Amino acid sequence: MSQFLVKEGVKNQIRKGEKLVTTHCCYCGMQCGMHIRVNEKTNKVVGVEPRYDWVLTRGKMCPKGVTAYQTVDHPDRIKRPLIKKNGKFVESSWEEALDLIERKFKGLQSNYGKDALSVYGGVSMTNEKCYLVGKYARVGLGTRYLDYNGRYCMSSAAGGFNKTLGMDRGSTLPWTELEHTDCFFMAGSNTAECHPTSIQWFWRAKDKGAKIIVADPRETATARVADVHLDLLPGTDSALANGIMHLLIKHEYVDNEYVQERCNNFAELKEMTAKFTPEYTSKITGIAVEKIVKAAHIFGKSPRSVVMFARGAEQQTAGVDNVSLYTSMALLRGQIGKFASGVATFTGQGNGQGGREHGQKSDLLPGYRKLTDPKAVEYISGVWGINPEDMPKPGVSAYEMFDLMLNKTIRGLHVICSNPVVSSPNINHVYKAMEALDFLVVSDFFLSETAELADVVLPATTWAEDEGTTTNIEGRVIHIRKVVEPLGESKPDWQIMSMIAERMGKGKHFQYNEPREIFDELRLASKGGKADYFGVTYEKIDEQDGVFWPAPAEDHPGSPSVFKEKFATEDGRANLAVCDWKGPAEVKSKDYPLWLTTGRVVFHYLSGNQTRRVGFLMEQCPEPFVEMHPELASQYQVENGEKVKLTTPRGDMIVPVKITKAIRKDVLFVPYHWGKQQAVNQLTSPALDPTSRMPEFKVCAVKLEKLTK
Amino acid sequence: MLNLEKSFYSKTSMYSFITIVVLFFLMWMSTAQFLHIDMALLGYMIGTAVFAIGLCIRMSFWIYRTATNRVAARSVKNLFTKERIKRNAKSLTITLIDNIVLQKFIFKRGLYRGIQHIMISWGCIISFAFTFGLTFGWFRFDLVDPDTYQMVAFNIPLIKMAAHGWIAEIFYNMLNIGAVMVLIGASMALFRRIKDYDVKVTQRFEFDLLPLYILLAVTVTGLALTVSYDFLDGWMHPHISLVHQITVVIMLMYFPFGKLFHVPIRPLATAVPMSYQETLKVDTKSCKSCHQPYSNDDQIADVQAILKAQSFDLQLADGSYLSDYCPSCRRRMRALKQMNMEAPKGNPYGPVNTNNGIHLSGFSKKRSEDFYGIEQDIKKDLGEEKEHEPVSR
Amino acid sequence: MNKIMYLEFERCIGCRACQAACRECGDHDAKERNYVEYVDFTESRQTFPMLCMQCKDPACARVCPANAIQITDEGVVLSAMEEKCIGCRNCTFGCPFGIPKFDFEKNKMYKCDMCYDRTRDDIAPMCASVCPSDAIRFIDFDEMQQLRRKRTQMNLVEGKKPQEGNKWDYVPEFFGVYTDSQS
């Protein structure tokens, strides 16, 4: 198979002495297509070339994507296992590191039981690895305590989709259809910064006359060009959605035939939304009545619309409610399952979609099977070759794991592909939990803030040093190619997990020579589940520009659009959400009189462990800042660039001010990509959504103080 | 001078004529009325004469360019201004040492490039100096007694040296040393030009590679002469000598017209510290719009004069010129103009309007609101007429 | 070869991918030559990209005392030739659009050359290739004309400010270097 895929009529620059390897970006869920330039003589990654013919992104990249290749040969890479001796990391051999891990893991398990160990996974890695994390925890270590950073990312979307539609595929339509859409309703998504390459589709639709409605406390680059910008207060999404539905019903924009045929609970919904008059909604959300009315009319009159939402609406204690309500908006209009219309969430992490389908979650098994379902346990036990009784029971969610570490239920932790001491809420608490551990192993390719706390750091590979598949924002399974050999003694995560499992005496369940074998096992494991990958093969992905799951049979071409005939619920009908508005867990008070919300900037990715090491990105955005409205700045007498202190009941930080009118007057915004003293997550609220266990990153009350000189 | 100029076809020809006359006068003087002329060097002499004329022509053309003339004229004027003596001396010294002798800025572009360039430049300067000196007889070595040479410059006897002493050895081998330096430098340059993708992007054969080949040809044949003379008992010596002579003449003729012409224009670099920037990176003129310093009054005056002389009309409605604004403000003005967002119209100092209601929203196309008929609906809903902004703030 | 660089400022989302990409081009020495700037961050997040117009008779070349700025056969205005440039920065101040940049360390001027190593082979420059919002495009001359015509029409349909007389003031910027045959 050729390493360099290009369609006829597409010209790329190939320099002499170099070759191109076709792959995708390692960062967000867009998974932009790219070719990596490799020097043929030295076999080193030297640059990037746009992949003009990738259907979804057409060669477009954001600054993170353009510079992604620079992390491969980065001087900060960990090349050999590190063991902490007397508080300092010492390079060691794999043999020594594995010996230590084996001794400690076995010791902890024999003294405190199997569940004394835990695994904390991540989804910025391939499906093969994500799948194996689940198997590694449950078979290799035999522990029930397993969860992953997707809990902070996608779990509310998953919960909401499962509740309303019965299946959690991030987008019900392929995004290449978006240009034909008439109206986008985007809630809590800073699309232009978090998924820059998706903008081409929205702008193209706009060129054709599409309307854009954006709900966001900040006037983001998308909100700036929106027809209506609903500048809501953080944490009031469910009120807004109810208010819009109230108007949809009032003005008879409801697709009655569709709702009658395909949805439950319409009467209850009608009753619930009755009180959400524009005036009532406006009072809760802080949006002008005119804007709510205008948005409802535009949305109601548009023949084809897509409702989209992201972390802004999801990272709340009412995250699942918000997702269900927004999804119900699309259902009322009869949009789901039709051309260029539907509902979608913006997947934040590279493999946020695939990573949550294959059993990295505390209560899920591969193929979106439930761990509480005996049939599922039996089937997966069969695939894994274990006794169904040996299958661990469901554990707890990511943030709750830290509580168990503090009370010594969990004594050993293996963190794979994540940096929880930056990305978790209330990280002062998380630091304490990590320090309470008896033994911490971290697999990473840079020394992240979490890795600094570890007893053993295992050198993992970057995305360019291993083959595999990921599932992008649309639910399209795509192919990541191996570009170069691993640097130094680093090894791909699947090898690391297999080696530890071997030491734990479970080697026979982890006999893999290459990722393809893991993928074949994953296909089998997901067969018959909701996220059915059985019909997906590497060859098919290359042939037809990715395969959309579900693909239940080998000759199945995949399903770009879902829910065309029926929904994935038991009765095949969608459940309209009937949820009242519940305020956020923390409300502003006399001591903490302002709202704080967090988010991303375009130059950094998640905890910044990778992007904070790239020169260009750091030049553009070297440190966090707090955005505030000039009116607020004048009340506190602070100037642009001045440093201020932000305090919540959980912690405080000092950040420079950026003044702009493009934010609500009562809201502060701080990006979260930095660790330690610069981490806004010292301040954020750990209140969890009752269903999805997603923390409320997006809303908390905060105090602003001017520093005395 | 004016009258004299009229007797010539052009200024350029006048300067060329004067140069040649001076050249041969010096030769006449230093060879004791052509007594000590070395006939073996006749070819070189003619080549050098052509070289001098060529250089003269090129320099004249260059100095008459509007931009060059203006910058050079200001430098000359400043040079003879009494108040600036200290600054001038400092500028000249710094430029001479940093820029020309040590070539520091090239080393900052890369050690490899620095070594390569200093080898070529100093190799060439040594060789040129020696060749010209000998060709025109500006200096010669006379045998005083069997063991002693005397150096004679411009017919004035200078130092004496032992025929086999180390000073003499250095003098004998001066050309060889120069040649070896050029050989190393030019090979390094050629290697870089063949290997490095980045240089190849804008490189042109006739401009970038040809001079290297010519330099190599000269040095290789020159060194071959030494090899033949010292080690091979003069084998093929006359032939090699002829070939060498041809390559040197080609190089001399090429010099004023190709890449090597950058050498005589380099001294203009003094203009920067002398007229524009006394301390590097410190600006004194501030932008008309944002009031940040971005340049120097003299420089902006020069730039405006140069542009005006060449009929560039970059004046704004209020009488200011685009060059009165810092580059960043100029970029913003262009974008604002383009988006028709300057406000109040045409006033570059006015506050910025970031939404003119035309481009935002809808890029190439905007579906009218009445397509949806929502205006009426909204009004009906609200029961009253209210102004609302299309984009919230 | 008859392609145009087409800039639509208001599409820009300020991601600066074009600047990151600019560093990747051949002979760009890992330094970006284009700009992305806020119109006024206090007022809004509107940003705009800015590149060299590749003027037919460039002011930068005309104010250069060393005659160091060359124009290729195709019409691309190149960075000052390193051997000639004396580092006076006249080009920076002469350019009406504020494009040329100057490296004090290496004592040389550098500017956008439309990714000469790509465009001479008919491959889109890096900035236009990666721009996620299509604020920078590298398109056919005909497509450009069509876009501009459509734009003026739609502006008029809106019945707002532009009138028949000034409608062309309201269409985006374009510039090309290979257009002699058709413009």
User: Which pLDDT score, from 0 to 100, does residue B348 have?
Assistant: 53
What number is the ipTM of this complex? 0.92
Measure CB to CB from residue B303 to each of C44, C93, C113 and give the nearest one: C93
Cβ distance A368 to A380 under 8 Å? Answer: no
- A514 and A435 belong to one structural domain: yes
Say how far apart CA A62 and CA A190 lie, in whole Å: 14
The CATH code of the domain that includes A608 is 2.40.40.20
- Chain C contact set for B366 (CB, 8 A): 154, 157-158
Q: Is A470 helix (H, G, I), strand (E, B) or coil?
A: strand
Say how far apart CA B329 and CA C84 lie, in whole Å: 28
Using the beta-carbon criterion (under 8 Å), do B330 and C97 form an inter-chain contact?
yes
- A128 and A217 belong to one structural domain: no
Q: How many CB atoms lie within 10 A of CB A372?
A: 12
- A458 and A505 belong to one structural domain: yes
- B200 and B322 belong to one structural domain: no
Is A192 within a domain? yes
Parallel, antiparallel, or unpaired: how do β-strands A651-659 and A594-599 relate?
Answer: unpaired
Say how far apart CA A230 and CA A189 lie, in whole Å: 12
Cβ distance A285 to A233 under 8 Å? Answer: yes
- B36 and B170 belong to one structural domain: yes
State CA A664 to chain mean position distance: 26
Using the beta-carbon criterion (under 8 Å), do A16 and B392 form an inter-chain contact?
no
Say how far apart CA A125 and CA A281 lie, in whole Å: 41
Distances (CA, A) of A488 to A466, A480, B227, B358: 14, 21, 50, 57
Say how far apart CA B243 and CA B225 lie, in whole Å: 10
Using the beta-carbon criterion (under 8 Å), do C16 and A620 form an inter-chain contact?
yes
Q: Report whether pLDDT(B318) > 90.
A: no
The CATH code of the domain that includes B219 is 1.20.950
B12-44 residues labelled b (16+ CB within 10 A) or e (exposed): bbbbbeebeeebeeebbebbeeeeebeeebebb
Is B141 within a domain? yes
Q: Please identify, among B272, B293, B324, the residue that sits at the C-terminal boundary of a domain.
A: B272
User: Which pLDDT score, from 0 to 100, does residue A505 have?
Assistant: 95
What pLDDT, in 10s, does the model give residues A333-389? 999 999 999 999 999 899 999 999 999 999 999 999 999 999 999 999 999 999 999
Cβ distance A58 to A52 under 8 Å? Answer: yes
- B213 and B348 belong to one structural domain: no
User: Which pLDDT score, from 0 to 100, does residue A596 have?
Assistant: 96
Distances (CA, A) of A215 to A44, A222, B208: 45, 10, 58
Using the beta-carbon criterion (under 8 Å), do A231 and B392 form an inter-chain contact?
yes
Tell whether omega for the bond before A550 is within 30 degrees of 0, i.e. cis: yes
User: Which pLDDT score, from 0 to 100, does residue B373 have?
Assistant: 61
Q: Please identify, among A317, A345, A373, the residue that sits at the C-terminal boundary of a domain.
A: A345
- A119 and A168 belong to one structural domain: no
Quickly tell me which residue has 């301390």 as its tokens: B279
In the beta sheet, which residues pair with residue A663? A218
Say how far apart CA C45 and CA B353 lie, in whole Å: 12
pLDDT band at residue C149 under the 50/70/90 scheme: confident
User: Which pLDDT score, from 0 to 100, does residue C170 have?
Assistant: 58
Low-confidence ranges of chain A (pLDDT < 50): 1
- A327 and A306 belong to one structural domain: yes
φ/ψ of A485, rounded to 5, equals -75, 150
Pairs of residues, one from chain A and one from chain B, whose beta carbons lie less than 8 Å apart: 67
What pLDDT, in 10s, does the model give residues C75-92? 889 999 999 999 999 999
- Helices (H), ranges, chain B: 2-6, 11-30, 42-63, 66-79, 85-94, 104-108, 111-135, 166-172, 174-195, 197-202, 210-231, 237-254, 262-265, 271, 297-309, 327-339, 374-382
Please name the residue of chain A whose CA is at the shortest distance from the CA of residue C122.
A11
Please name the residue of chain B whose CA is at the shortest distance from the CA of residue A16.
B197
Say how far apart CA A184 and CA A199 lie, in whole Å: 12
Nearest chain B Cα distance for residue C117, angstroms: 5
Q: Report whether pLDDT(B378) > 60.
A: yes
- Name the percent of chain B lying above pLDDT 90: 31
Cβ distance A621 to A604 under 8 Å? Answer: yes
Is B371 within a domain? no
User: Which pLDDT score, from 0 to 100, does residue A207 have?
Assistant: 83
Neighbouring chains of B at 3+ CB pairs under 8 Å are: A, C
Count: domains in chain B: 2
Nearest chain A Cα distance for residue C158, angstroms: 13
Q: Report whether pLDDT(B354) > 80.
A: no
Q: Report whether pLDDT(B385) > 70.
A: no
Q: Please identify, among B272, B293, B309, the residue that sits at the C-terminal boundary of a domain.
A: B272
Q: Please identify, among A314, A345, A376, the residue that sits at the C-terminal boundary of a domain.
A: A345
Integer Rg of chain C from CA: 17
The CATH code of the domain that includes A325 is 3.40.228.10
Say how far apart CA A156 and CA A142 lie, in whole Å: 27
Topology given in CATH for the domain delimited by C53-111? Alpha-Beta Plaits (3.30.70)
Average pLDDT over chain B, rounded to an integer: 83
User: Which pLDDT score, from 0 to 100, does residue B95 have?
Assistant: 87
State CA A697 to chain mean position distance: 13
Count: domains in chain A: 3
- Chain C contact set for A225 (CB, 8 A): 10
- B223 and B260 belong to one structural domain: yes
Nearest chain A Cα distance for residue C67, angstroms: 31
User: Which pLDDT score, from 0 to 100, does residue B10 have?
Assistant: 83
- A191 and A256 belong to one structural domain: yes
Nearest chain A Cα distance for residue B360, angstroms: 6
Q: How many CB atoms lie within 10 A of CB B293?
A: 12
- B333 and B263 belong to one structural domain: no
- A161 and A135 belong to one structural domain: no
Determine the residue type at C98: G
Q: Please identify, among A293, A326, A345, the residue that sits at the C-terminal boundary of a domain.
A: A345
Cβ distance A703 to A598 under 8 Å? Answer: no
Measure CB to CB from residue A659 to each of C21, C42, C131 and give the nearest one: C42
- B291 and B248 belong to one structural domain: no
- A614 and A678 belong to one structural domain: yes
Using the beta-carbon criterion (under 8 Å), do C17 and A65 form an inter-chain contact?
yes
Neighbouring chains of A at 3+ CB pairs under 8 Å are: B, C
Domain that holds residue B96: 10-272
- B234 and B338 belong to one structural domain: no
Mean pLDDT, to the nearest integer, of B318-328? 91
Measure CB to CB from residue B269 to each of C43, C86, C90 and give the nearest one: C86
Work out the angle between the directed axes of helices A319-332 and A237-250 (0-180°, nearest 10): 20
User: Which pLDDT score, from 0 to 100, does residue A84 have?
Assistant: 96
pLDDT band at residue C162 under the 50/70/90 scheme: low
- B294 and B254 belong to one structural domain: no
What pLDDT, in 10s, does the model give residues B29-64? 877 777 777 777 788 888 888 899 999 999 999 999
| Residue with the larger pLDDT of the pair B149 and C125 | C125
Is B369 within a domain? no
pLDDT band at residue C6 under the 50/70/90 scheme: confident
- Chain C contact set for A222 (CB, 8 A): 13
Is A182 within a domain? yes
| Residue with the larger pLDDT of the pair A124 and B154 | A124
Is B335 within a domain? yes
- A225 and A144 belong to one structural domain: no
Measure CB to CB from residue B276 to each of C9, C88, C97 and give the nearest one: C88
| Residue with the larger pLDDT of the pair B73 and C181 | B73
Is A394 within a domain? yes
Parallel, antiparallel, or unpaired: how do β-strands A456-459 and A82-85 relate?
Answer: antiparallel
Tell whether omega for the bond before B344 is within 30 degrees of 0, i.e. cis: yes
Nearest chain B Cα distance for residue A256, angstroms: 20
Is A569 within a domain? no
Q: How many CB atoms lie within 10 A of CB A74?
A: 15
- B332 and B241 belong to one structural domain: no
Positions of E strands within A460-502: 468-471, 476-480
Measure CB to CB from residue C130 to each of A61, A203, A219 and give the nearest one: A61
- B333 and B200 belong to one structural domain: no
Is B191 within a domain? yes
- A315 and A381 belong to one structural domain: no
- A103 and A144 belong to one structural domain: yes
Q: Report whether pLDDT(B363) > 50.
A: no
Nearest chain B Cα distance for residue C121, angstroms: 11
Phi-psi region of B259 (alpha: psi -120 to 50; beta: other; left: phi over 0): alpha
What pLDDT, in 10s, does the model give residues C10-20? 889 999 999 99
Cβ distance A429 to A681 under 8 Å? Answer: no
Q: How many CB atoms lie within 10 A of CB A255?
A: 16
Say how far apart CA C69 and CA C79 lie, in whole Å: 6
- A208 and A284 belong to one structural domain: yes
Measure CB to CB from residue B391 to each of A207, A224, A298 and give the nearest one: A224
Domain that holds residue A133: 82-153+354-467+490-518
φ/ψ of C56, rounded to 5, equals -70, -40
φ/ψ of B247, rounded to 5, equals -60, -40
- B191 and B339 belong to one structural domain: no
Say how far apart CA A241 and CA A164 lie, in whole Å: 15
